[in-house]
């Protein structure tokens, strides 16, 4: 694209304009810009098509107020909105707000095919709540771990089942001696201390 091709034409009114050739404040060259007009100033409400440089082939959209996409009145094959990145990451950020996703059903699937891919990371700087109206299932091919520096609580009004080999690693003050070294009463007291330490009783 020739250097003098930038900013060579525009069509518009006092309400808005379609401009062919523009340069943004960060020196990104745009081939075309659809912009909301602001009298005497460059508007920060626009859609731009990058034509040269690092961002060649990119599309920029900026809305100083709300950006709304409403679709799906007549979905095709059940699909109403598609956001697909053939390569690279998809990033959604709201550093001073909240990200909300709601739907009839929600799937989070990581399909990485190696040991260093396929992760799903959920982190909360304060608290993470997981609730279900009926049932929560946790399944792992090899191992499930729970770690807390202070306390892990298990509470139910019904039955707690432990299947397979069970090994309790407890502090020395709560250790349970092997059978035959203490009386039945001492052994029961040891189990009581263990249960109290695990469940806060």
Given a cut of 80, is residue 51 above it in pLDDT? Answer: yes
Q: Is residue 171 part of a domain?
A: yes
> What is the rounded average pLDDT of the residues 14-40?
81
Q: Is residue 200 part of a domain?
A: yes
pLDDT tens for each residue of 30-49? 888 898 877 556 678 889 99
9: closest CA among 32, 25, 28, 41?
A: 32
pLDDT tens for each residue of 139-186? 988 888 888 888 888 888 888 888 877 776 665 444 445 555 556 666
Q: Is residue 116 part of a domain?
A: no
Alpha helices in 139-183 (DSSP H): none
Phi then psi for residue 40, to 5 deg, are 80, 0
Q: Is residue 77 part of a domain?
A: no
pLDDT at 1: 44
Q: Is residue 80 part of a domain?
A: no
Banded pLDDT at 197 (limits 50, 70, 90): low
- Please name the residues in contact with 54: beta carbons below 8 A apart, sequence gap of 6 or more: 28
Q: Is residue 196 part of a domain?
A: yes
- The structural domain count of the chain equals 1
pTM as predicted: 0.69
pLDDT tens for each residue of 66-101? 999 999 999 999 999 999 999 999 999 999 999 999
Q: Is residue 175 part of a domain?
A: yes
Q: Is residue 182 part of a domain?
A: yes
- Please name the residues in contact with 108: beta carbons below 8 A apart, sequence gap of 6 or more: 120
Banded pLDDT at 200 (limits 50, 70, 90): low
Residue with the larger pLDDT of the pair 63 and 23: 63
pLDDT at 3: 47
Range of the domain at 184: 167-201
pLDDT tens for each residue of 102-149? 999 999 999 987 777 888 888 888 999 999 999 999 998 888 888 888
CA of 133: how far to CAs of 44, 84, 88, 136, 155, in Å?
Answer: 45, 32, 36, 9, 17
């Amino acid at each position: 694209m020739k250097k003098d091709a930038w900013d060579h034409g525009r069509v518009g009114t006092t309400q808005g304009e379609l401009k062919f050739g523009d340069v943004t404040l960060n020196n990104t060259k745009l081939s075309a810009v659809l912009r909301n007009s602001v009298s005497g100033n460059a508007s920060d409400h626009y859609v731009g098509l990058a034509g040269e440089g690092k961002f060649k082939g990119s599309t920029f959209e900026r809305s100083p107020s709300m950006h709304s996409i409403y679709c799906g009145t007549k979905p095709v094959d059940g699909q109403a909105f598609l956001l697909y990145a053939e390569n690279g990451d998809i990033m959604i950020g709201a550093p001073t707000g909240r990200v909300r996703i709601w739907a009839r059903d929600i799937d989070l699937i990581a399909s990485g095919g190696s040991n260093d891919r396929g992760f799903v990371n959920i982190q909360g700087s304060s608290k993470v709540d997981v609730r279900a109206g009926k049932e929560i299932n946790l399944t792992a091919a090899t191992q499930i771990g729970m770690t807390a520096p202070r306390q892990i609580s298990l509470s139910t009004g019904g039955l707690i089942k432990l299947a397979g080999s069970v090994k309790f690693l407890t502090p020395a003050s709560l250790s349970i001696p092997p059978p035959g070294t203490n009386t039945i009463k001492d052994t029961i007291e040891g189990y009581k201390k263990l249960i109290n330490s695990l469940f806060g009783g």
